[in-house]
Structure 1
């Protein structure tokens, strides 16, 4: 196992907010940062020592990143797999490229989750709309049809309640093959962030309960308000998946808690995750510091939660009311990501609130006019 030491350079593919927070954690430990992103002055580029502005599949840019970096990681999965695979042949990329190939494609992802022994909802895969029509009776209705490639925050999917609605899914096949999942009635969504180094040492962060608005994560509540047996099932499933995938770095495992107390895995993200941002203030090790430890070959730290906490996303429409009211909330930890333009529904930052009473703080957030629709 190779150990990367302070003073050496960590290359990050992707210059968004996850790369920025990764980079800040790395710089605190004395590392230098190089970032590859198509946009100049990206959130990560603003704090990097070396900024390479080019598309993710630019061979010359990847070559340059490999030359200036002692280790390379990535901040999101929708990067060029073939380019990343070639990069692993000439640079040190401890996470490899296979995890990206698997999680870029929902069909591959579901298959690997099943192979790990973790539970998923019944599903079918279809290359064409005609194939979907032929197979749909295998899972029935209601169901959710999702594109195999791309799609996030509710995009690239449609819920079908009957055969009469099938035509609504036909347009999804213009982009890629699709999967159709049986709709499972669930009570809550939770996420487990598991982190693992090359030695096979792994830890899960305290499990978050996630609340969405308009298909975008609104709040993460920690600890999740579920029974202890649900937490045990969730950690066990995440450990199975991480071990099966031979994870190095970070994997976010999103899952549904069903009415009978069982869980099913929804999807994976092979990088730090929005629902783990609370850990910056609320834990003895943040997801970003732990990720840097994992890819640099350092021993991991067992996470501890200092206090119950709530993370709230700050979207474009929230920035102005939040900044106008900062003085009213001295106990809120405010993170803004340095994005140039505050567009509606665009993630611009987050707030973390450590609290003695989750319910009281949730009510305070609800009553605030910052997050009014």
Structure 2
């Protein structure tokens, strides 16, 4: 089958069309919910069946990302393709792009799925990043530690998320074991940042270059996994404005069409340093589903379809608490106890197997202040096992 005639890049893809998603986790699930509410059909492609996205999509295609014939067949049946998971092989995105536009483009995926390429790109384009060194052997790791000092964090160059593929090095004596532990031939050593906050900005950019963002979000992590997000971040207006400007610069530099999250550290002396990028909706933006005029998922639909971006106004201060598989350790959580708090909203992802550290759902709440919203979601989560 030949490649379909190309539509004008500015011709909108209207409701009734079919949108394709590479990946099938909870981000794709919430994207599909937003898209179907707007009248679109959704097809998802991944190696997994009965997936969080597949449960709510119109069609679930189960095949390996390396099966380029299956990828091509998938792409022929949709009007545009996006992804909810950046660890998709570049060849997959390239095969899909022969038959349908991929947004964000494969070049964005190429940069952001590889930590070393990402850091190098950001540094070369003038964005503030954490200090780092490329490492390809235990000997290079020792040399990098002498330059950056300890503690430091050693990460695989590619295929990492939620703390996977990384280890903290407290002293040079740990270098050899740390290198062996990662089982890789290419890594990145990042100097330790004495930060006071972890923050993120989720931006969206349209085909016409229009830009919108959801403001600065404040994040706290546990065991390298996002635990709680609060909006708006409790920082000065200057810091918030600077973070939003950095995010806009990144999206424009990469020529993103779609949604991209810029994760940053705020140092003790109020400097912002980019930690990493995610070229898709982000866990820290889950609260936008309930707390903003337009959610990050609807915004993704609008951006990739060439529609005007929606208002990102925060309706009230809000917070989100992740629900990991640990919550199921003693059986089914006490949902009723948490939902007795009338401000709380429950989102579950349709995953049948609860494992320690696996993201199973989240709670959100809005309140009169960010502090109060955070208190509510933390208390509601505690009630689940009370």
Q: Which residue of 1 aligns with 2:343?
A: 331
Q: CA deviation at 1:358?
A: 2.9
Once the two structures are superposed, the pairs formed by residues 257-272 of structure 1 within 5 Å of their partners are: 257-272=266-281
Distance in 2, matches of 1:235 and 1:127, equals 34
Give how far 1:360 is off: 3.4
Gaps of 5+ in 2: 1-9
**Deviations 1:69-118 (CA, angstroms, capped at 9, x unpaired):** 01111111011111211221232213221111111111100011113321
Q: Which residue of 2 aligns with 1:341?
A: 353
Q: Does 1:306 align with 2:318?
A: no
- 2:364 — aligned with what? 352
Partner of residue 113, structure 2: 104
Match of 1:20 in 2: 29
Query: In structure 2, do the counterparts of structure 1 residues 322 and 353 end up closer, same or farther at CA, with 3 Å as the change threshold?
Result: farther
The 2-side partners of 1:279 and 1:365 are apart by 15
Q: Deviation of residue 327 (structure 1)?
A: 4.1
Q: Which residue pairs with 1:163 in the alignment?
A: 172
Question: Given the alignment, which residue of 10, 16, 26 partners 1:7?
Answer: 16
Pairing 1:191–2:200 present: yes
Is 1:250 aligned to residue 259 of structure 2?
A: yes
Aligned length: 373
Separation in structure 1 between the aligned mates of residue 379 and residue 78 of structure 2, nearest angstrom:
47
* Contiguous gaps of at least 5 residues in structure 1: none
Conservation of the 8 A alpha-carbon contact between 1:117 and 1:240: no
Q: TM-score, normalised by structure 2?
A: 0.92
* Cα contact 1:7–1:30 (8 A) shared by 2: yes
User: What's the CA shift for 1:134?
Assistant: 2.9
Distance 1:111 1:74, change over 3 A: same
* CA displacement at 1:359 relative to structure 2: 2.4
Distance 2:74 2:123 in 1: 35
How far apart, in 1, do the equivalents of 2:268 and 2:209 lie?
34
- Report deviation, 1:233: 1.4
- RMSD between aligned alpha carbons? 1.7
- Is residue 288 of structure 1 aligned with residue 300 of structure 2? no
Could you give the per-residue CA deviations for residues 108-136 of structure 1, whole angstroms, max 9, x where no partner exists? 00011113321012111012222222333
Contact 2:29 2:56 (C-alpha < 8 Å) held by counterparts? yes
Offset at residue 174 of structure 1 (A): 2.2
